[in-house]
A and B are shown apart, each in its own frame.
Chain A
Amino acid sequence: MSLSPLLAGLQREIEAHARDYGLDFFPVMFEVLDYRKLNQVAAYGGFPTRYPHWRFGMDFEQLQKGYTFGLQRIYEMVINNDPCYAYLLECNADVDQKIVMAHVYAHCDFFKNNVWFSKTNRKMMDEMANHATRVRRYMDRHGVDRVENFIDLCLSLENLIDPHSLFIVRERPDAPEEAPRVARRLKSKEYMQDYINPPEILARESLRLREESERKKSFPAEPTRDILKFLIEYSPLENWQRDVLSIIREEAYYFAPQAQTKIMNEGWATYWHSKMMTERCLTDAEVIDYADHHSGTVATSPGRLNPYKLGVELFKDIEERWNKGRFGKEFEECEDLSLRTTWDTQLNQGRGKIFEVRRFCNDVTFIDNYLTEEFCRRHKMFVYDFNPKTGLYQISSRSFREIKQKLLFQLTNRGLPFIEVADGNFRNKGELLLRHRYEGVPLRMDYARDTLRNTQRIWQRPVNIATLVEDKPKLISYTGEAFEEADLHEPAA
């Protein structure tokens, strides 16, 4: 549905404010949807067209239920695309639509300017539609079940990508060719040569040596975390399967930066919607509703970290610190508490600083660089852990170091375990060896087994993963028929 004159007016107004504040965005197209349509679009990750798959139907069902029972509703949705597409819920009050629009313009500015999105395909809307067409065509040709079952396998591996790989240009000089090994000759007199070192045996031996050194070259040359790429390149797949797997990989890379910048992105959008609303847009009659909805967005509950809240508070904190010069050696080394709390050098670089942060950081560097001890204390942050004795989650620490460490751990690699392909020719039998780089938290085993099984279906040879189970190094294998678990005394491969 195109925008009503009222909403179109609001959009013009808010766009002008956003520009005024220095936000820089792609053109934004708003569409108004009823909740059912909005849930449909949301189930497709914001895109109007995706390839057919039951999981979208499942997500839709859950969204519908959540809406029906009043557990959740989606206020705002925006697609990183040029132009940006954003959706408004039909039955929202005008003040909500204003908030959403302001929020969306800030998201769009973030998408356009944050470096982690710099490799993102900005025509993803079209690309997704193309993917859908291709998958549909495969379904016509090979049957819905076959294609869908294969997609199930691929989705099981969709998080096995390396979001950083897009930024890495490897110019590896070719390894110096090692001199080809030749068969050793036994010492002999010239005239005995053919008897002691028969040429056909020497030839056979040379061949064997050559093959051996061939095999010795590791494969992949160094461990890779872009497992999907490795599988696309080396699995014995049919062409359509290879294409489906690359579709899944491409979409995974599209969504990865959003997961890497969740706190920042939501914080940034919240920062700007509250600024625009309170400084420019609110009518007197709307203040209460605005306050109500805004506080809902940034509400915290114990045991949960609200990315909107953490993000917006950090941005505000950074702005204040750079306005007052509360950073750098001199400030850090000041131990006089009263001096610290009133510290103000009138630096006024806050605004510029947060624009810089939004360009260069992702959630990890955001927290790593800008989360301070004072901030943690002011916002009553804590670490909680599962207590196996009581079966409860309990607050385990309020120490700054531990809070930061835990946060960084959760954010690194989007909170996912580091898994890499260590060897594509494990045991010299064409088996796949994955390695879990253990960081203190074990894998969820039932899922790990199922995922291993799905990987095997793609690799079509036995698949192994080296990990730690109850603090002991283990090799878990799936042969295609059965699971095996073996102790691992040395690092595999």
Chain B
Amino acid sequence: MILRIEQDHHRFKQIIRGKIKQDLRKYISRGEMIGRRGKDLISIPLPQISIPHFVHGRRQAGGVGQGEGDVGTVLGAAEPEEGSGQAGDAPGQHLLEVEVTLDELAEMLGEELELPRIEPRGRKNIVTEKYRYTGIAPTGPESLRHFRRTYKEMMKRSLASGTYRRPGALPFIIREDKRYRTWRPTILPETTAAVIYMMDVSGSMGEEQKEIVRIESFWIDTWLRHHYKGLEIRYIIHDAEAREVDQETFYHTRESGGTVISSAYRLALEVTRTDYPAQEWNVYCFHFSDGDNWSQGDTQECIRLLREELLPGVNLFAYGQVESPYGTGQFLLDLKEAFAEEEAVALSKIESKEAIHQSIKEFLGRGR
């Protein structure tokens, strides 16, 4: 029985991919993607894949059931409402959840935002051995016997020894003729990258700002993971001074007090120097703040640190300014002035969640 379901299944997946891409901008600015993440899968609810029909609004219809209970006994909550337009409509019947691998998602992100592929800086730091069946050996398991090579050996032997009679005679293969496929280790260079996230956690950075940072860094991670075999991520928070924290703390700390940005840059420098030397690592630094710095003097110090010490050792330094009602936003202007011509510096202003995709494009659009 020939079944064509594979084709239809493939087609369905294609359509879903198209749907996801269509809505990707919307998804990019939404935080719940992060919450839905599995190990390498993410599930995305697709409300509009079902074929519409004229049907009753089910909620009003009710139904007939069987079992114990009196009038008024609760059977269960109505499913959450879906669909736009009229209120009080039917409950969601088949909210389709599809699973997409993070890799696929990265592909789509790249296509949608027209991101260039990242060129690793060509450092072959980690080397892995991969086994490929490209060799031939005189010994091996029968299941790997190479028929053509074995036959050739037999021919060679029988011609050389004069035992060959005429074409078409039955070949006579002896132990020594047999050839087997065998593996050869191939050395593959593997590229790895380190990401250092820095965030201002001073009082002026509110929940909304942090949410933006979280969503944006999720997409940055997804994209970088797609390009590098290994990705190490470090988190630095700072107010008046900087310290390294884990991911959880990174997103949930709120301090009051001032902002000395150079402290974070200095710590980042320390981290890269000790753990991610430039010869071996592709290093990415992302710094998010609302653009307020303690003093103009410190800003000058930041610029010096970046230009002289940090930039030579990293692929990209990206600064994202998350607008907050309290910030003056001066820092972005200062950096702009100082690094207008610098390829390795990406600057972006993120005014709202909707601006996230634009900001990602600004950060990663350089293909570095």
* Interface set of A (CB-CB < 8 Å, partner B): 31, 37, 40-41, 43-44, 48-49, 52-58, 60-61, 148, 152, 155-160, 300-306, 309-310, 379-386, 388, 390-398, 403, 406-407, 409-410, 415-417, 419, 436, 441-451, 454, 469
Contacts and interface: CB of A to CB of B under 8 A. Distances in A.
Interface string B81-102: 0011110111000001000000
A310 B65 CA distance: 10
B167 interface: no
Chief secondary structure at chain A's binding surface: mixed
Given A57-B13, A61-B12, A395-B75, A410 B54 contact: no
B5 A43 contact: yes
Given A48-B1, A441-B56, A447-B55, 10 more contacts: A57-B7, A60-B9, A155-B51, A160-B54, A302-B68, A304-B66, A383-B63, A393-B74, A416-B53, A446-B52
Contacts of B14: 54
A445 to B, nearest CB: 4
Q: Shortest 6 CB-CB distances between A and B: which pairs?
A: A57-B12, A446-B83, A450-B52, A57-B8, A385-B62, A57-B9
Contacts of A436: 54
B45 to A, nearest CB: 14
Contacts of B76: 303, 392-393
A300 B61 contact: no
B89 A444 contact: yes
Contacts of A300: 66-67
A383 B62 CA distance: 7
Which of B56, B60, B76, B96 neighbours the largest number of chain A CB atoms within 10 Å of its CB?
A: B56
B75 A384 contact: yes
A302 B66 CA distance: 6
B72 interface: yes
Given A393-B75, A444-B89, A416 B12 contact: no
Contact of B69 (A382, A391, A407, A441): A382
13 contacts: A48-B2, A57-B11, A158-B53, A303-B76, A382-B69, A391-B78, A392-B76, A406-B64, A407-B64, A416-B53, A416-B55, A447-B90, A449-B52
Nearest to A405: B64
B77 A415 contact: no
B55 A381 contact: no
Given A395-B72, A416-B55, A384 B63 contact: yes
A302 B65 contact: yes
A394 B54 contact: no
Interface in B22-75: 49, 51-75
Given A155-B51, A442-B60, A305 B65 contact: yes
B75 A451 contact: no
B5 A55 contact: no
A444 B88 contact: no
Nearest to A58: B12
Contacts of B58: 444
Contacts of B78: 386, 391-393
A392 B343 CA distance: 59
A442 B57 contact: yes
B4 interface: yes
B66 to A, nearest CB: 5
Given A48-B1, A53-B8, A384-B63, A446 B86 contact: yes
Contacts of B67: 300-303, 380, 382
B10 interface: yes
A382 B66 contact: yes
